[in-house]
Amino acid sequence: DTGVSQDPRHKITKRGQNVTFRCDPISEHNRLYWYRQTLGQGPEFLTYFQNEAQLEKSRLLSDRFSAERPKGSFSTLEIQRTEQGDSAMYLCASSLANRDTEAFFGQGTRLTVV
Amino acid sequence: AQKVTQAQTEISVVEKEDVTLDCVYETRDTTYYLFWYKQPPSGELVFLIRRNSFDEQNEISGRYSWNFQKSTSSFNFTITASQVVDSAVYFCAGYNFNKFYFGSGTKLNVKP
């Protein structure tokens, strides 16, 4: 499978714990995006990378959230001290920078904070 | 600022009926792209169609067709002869400045 891969698909955690999600983009794609989708809503932009540089962060990305793409390939999204409001689907997408409207989305990681 | 409105929360149709999903995209930008995505229960967003703001020509692709009217900011999507497999949540989205702006989605139920 050469699509965008996200791991894990589901995560249940207790409030206050830290969690980390991984996204593997399509191999030649230099752009990688993170979106968050709460129940009954459309995805909302969190952040994006071009290669290893994080070029933009949404105000939704509080200090408890950090995203990295150390070698310009896979990316991780960490949430520290999780809160119930963090429960959502976290979607990753990738594209080529010169074809940025042709983004491919992964199946997402569904986080439940109990 | 970008605003995407999908007023229809949920639609139910019987198989083989035609169904139109409504979308209004409001922006002050003159250049942008519009999309429709499908999200089945598995969660992945599946790309359906893309339109740029300069092209108001309506098109048909298989059972899908779309109607973009810049004057009313509407970008409607029609499925002809719906099938049970079309059941999913459909999102309208705009794209500008390196990010997608999604509507809240319309859940389509196609009953046999």
Q: Do B33 and A56 touch (CB under 8 A)?
A: no
Q: How far is A57 from chain B (nearest CA, A)?
A: 11
Q: Per-residue pLDDT for A54 more than 90? A: yes
What is the structure's pLDDT at B51? 87
The pLDDT tens digits of the residues spanning A75-111 come to 999 999 999 999 999 999 999 988 888 899 999 999 9
B-proximal residues of A, 23-42, CB under 8 Å? 33, 35, 40-42
Q: Per-residue pLDDT for A66 more than 90? A: yes
A107: chain B residues, CB-CB within 8 Å:
42-44
CB contacts < 8 Å between A and B, how many? 49
| Mean pLDDT to the nearest integer, B15-27 | 95
Which region holds residue A107: left if phi is over 0, alpha if psi is between -120 and 50, else beta?
alpha
Q: Tokens 């793409």 belong to which residue?
A: A69
Q: Do A42 and B33 touch (CB under 8 A)?
A: no
Give percent above pLDDT 70 in chain A. 99
What is the structure's pLDDT at A51? 94
What is the structure's pLDDT at A1? 53
| Mean pLDDT to the nearest integer, A53-63 | 92
3 state SS for B58-79: CEEECCEEEEEECCCCEEEEEE
Instruction: Please report the DSSP string for B10-56 in residue order.
Output: EEEEETT--EEE--EEE-S-SS-EEEEEEE-TT---EEEEEEETT--
